[in-house]
Amino acid sequence: MKLFKKIYFLMYPILFASFFLFFKSVNVFNSVSLQLVITTILAYILSPKVKIIDKNSGEQGQIRGLFFKKVIDNKV
Summarize pLDDT for 3-46 with one digit per residue, the tens.
Answer: 766 777 788 899 999 999 999 898 888 888 999 999 999 998 88
**pLDDT tens figures, 49-58:** 777 878 887 7
Strands in the chain per DSSP E:
49-55, 58-64, 72-75
Phi, psi of 54 (to 5 degrees): -90, 125
Question: pTM of the full predicted structure?
Answer: 0.73
**C-alpha angle with apex 47: 30 to 23, nearest 5 degrees?**
15
Predicted pLDDT at 17: 95
DSSP H helices, 27-69, are: 32-46
